């Protein structure tokens, strides 16, 4: 926020707020519970931070309706169903103020092919290339240094941040967002070993991003070897993610930072893959599954599974195994004592330290 806003105006954005305290105060920023000052709005979005609520110095605090803990003395209290959702409404307005949508125009340095189709109210920024036969939908924004390949399609109200790329024949639906450096339609990783060397297999398919997809910074979605690599409606892909050729993502899938999905794998609706999960090729991950960070997936995952580890196991089982692994040295020593009592001279196995 660049100026102060009366709390009584801010709460109008929220859904059925229950307010206790002075709504005439003015606020100028959003801050964490720990760092908030009397001119800040804060919120409890995660229960693990509940202990910080009583000591916050925020001018106002958004709390869940069912919060039962102590209340800070000098803060106005606003109770809502979900503080995180309500704060997102406010952040959306702040975002629009900080980064207003550019006025529709085509920058003089942009290179737009004569055969390209440009919709209404489109902004095409500096050094953008729009190639032969490309289609740019109404209200789209290409911020700058973007490359839109031959016969590519950019859907209505899509927003391409600087240096993002959409290669030939690839398609973006409505309201797609590409963060800086995202690449849609890079060649799939396909080679055959022939006459003593790796020979490239041409990748002649495309990538389709359905409506409301977001691709993070420096993430790559490979074009299909043939047919389509598909990212389903509402899916959100974080930064530094690699999606291989012919992968099929369902609706509402979340891929967190540094996930790698090998070719021809399918991931069902609303599955979630935590950071650095690696997925082998030609697998099926069921709808609604959750896979914990740094897991290595080398087999199919049933729908609605909660798995972690390499290979993935049910979450609680994987946790128990990790605990047991930590006890292996003492278990080894106990086994040695049993062998000694039984008169067994030969070691069952050797420790790395030779003992």
| pLDDT tier, 1 (very low <50, low <70, confident <90, very high otherwise) | very low
The reply to whether 236 and 128 lie within a common domain is: yes
Mean pLDDT across the chain: 94
Count CB-CB contacts under 10 A for residue 347. 12
The reply to whether 279 and 225 lie within a common domain is: yes
* pLDDT one-digit tens code per residue, 201-257: 999 999 999 999 999 999 999 999 999 999 999 999 999 999 999 999 999 999 999
Q: Find, among 127, 123, 122, the residue nearest to 111 by Cα.
A: 127
Is 319 noted as a catalytic residue in this protein? Answer: no
Catalytic site residue from 245, 282, 319, 327: 245
Element (H, E) at 322: helix 315-326
**143 in Cβ contact with 163 (< 8 Å):** no
- Domain end marker among 55, 77, 98: 98
The reply to whether 171 and 31 lie within a common domain is: no
* pLDDT one-digit tens code per residue, 331-352: 988 988 898 888 887 655 566 6
* DSSP assignment string, 7-54: HHHHGGGSSS-EEES-TT-EE-EE--TTT--TTEEEE--SGGGGGGTT
- Domain end marker among 82, 98, 114: 98
**What is the total count of domains within the chain?**
3
The reply to whether 131 and 205 lie within a common domain is: yes
The reply to whether 147 and 78 lie within a common domain is: no
* pLDDT one-digit tens code per residue, 36-87: 999 999 999 999 999 999 999 999 999 999 999 999 988 999 999 999 999 9
The reply to whether 191 and 297 lie within a common domain is: yes
Q: Find, among 138, 149, 140, the residue nearest to 177 by Cα.
A: 140
Domain residue limits at 335: 321-355
The reply to whether 260 and 149 lie within a common domain is: yes
Strands 306-308 and 313-314, by their bridges, are antiparallel
Strands 165-166 and 147-148, by their bridges, are parallel
Looking up residue 41, the CATH number of its domain turns out to be 3.40.1390.10
The reply to whether 137 and 45 lie within a common domain is: no
């Amino acid at each position: 926020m660049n100026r102060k806003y009366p709390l009584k105006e801010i709460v109008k954005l929220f859904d059925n707020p229950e307010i206790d305290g002075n709504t005439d105060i003015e606020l100028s920023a959003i801050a964490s519970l720990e760092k908030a000052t009397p001119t800040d709005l804060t919120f409890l979005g995660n229960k693990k931070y509940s202990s910080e609520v009583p000591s916050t110095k925020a001018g106002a605090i958004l709390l869940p309706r069912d919060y039962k803990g102590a209340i800070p003395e000098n803060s106005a209290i606003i109770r809502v169903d979900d503080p995180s959702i309500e704060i997102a409404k406010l952040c959306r307005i702040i975002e629009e103020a900080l980064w207003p949508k550019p006025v529709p125009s085509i920058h003089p340095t942009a290179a737009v092919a004569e055969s390209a189709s440009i919709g209404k109210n489109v902004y095409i920024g500096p050094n953008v290339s729009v190639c032969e036969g490309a289609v740019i939908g109404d209200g789209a924004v290409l911020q700058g240094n973007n490359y839109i390949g031959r016969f590519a399609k950019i859907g209505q109200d899509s927003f391409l941040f600087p240096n993002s790329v959409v290669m030939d024949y690839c398609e973006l639906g409505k309201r797609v967002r590409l963060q800086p450096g995202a690449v849609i339609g890079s060649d799939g990783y396909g080679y055959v070993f022939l006459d003593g060397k790796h020979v490239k297999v041409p990748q002649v398919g495309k990538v389709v991003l359905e409506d409301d997809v977001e691709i993070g910074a420096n993430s790559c979605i490979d074009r299909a070897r043939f047919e389509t690599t598909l990212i389903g409606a509402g899916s959100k892909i974080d930064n530094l993610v690699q999606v291989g050729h012919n992968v099929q993502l369902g609706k509402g899938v979340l891929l967190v930072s540094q996930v790698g999905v090998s070719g021809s794998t399918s991931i069902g609706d609303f599955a979630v893959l935590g950071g650095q999960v690696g997925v082998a090729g030609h697998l099926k991950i069921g709808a609604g599954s959750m896979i914990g960070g740094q897991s290595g997936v080398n087999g199919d995952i049933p729908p609605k599974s909660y798995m972690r580890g390499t290979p993935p196991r049910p979450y609680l089982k994987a946790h128990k195994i990790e605990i047991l692994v930590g006890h292996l040295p003492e278990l080894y020593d106990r086994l040695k004592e049993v062998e000694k009592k039984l008169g067994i001279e030969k070691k069952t196995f050797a420790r790395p330290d030779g003992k």
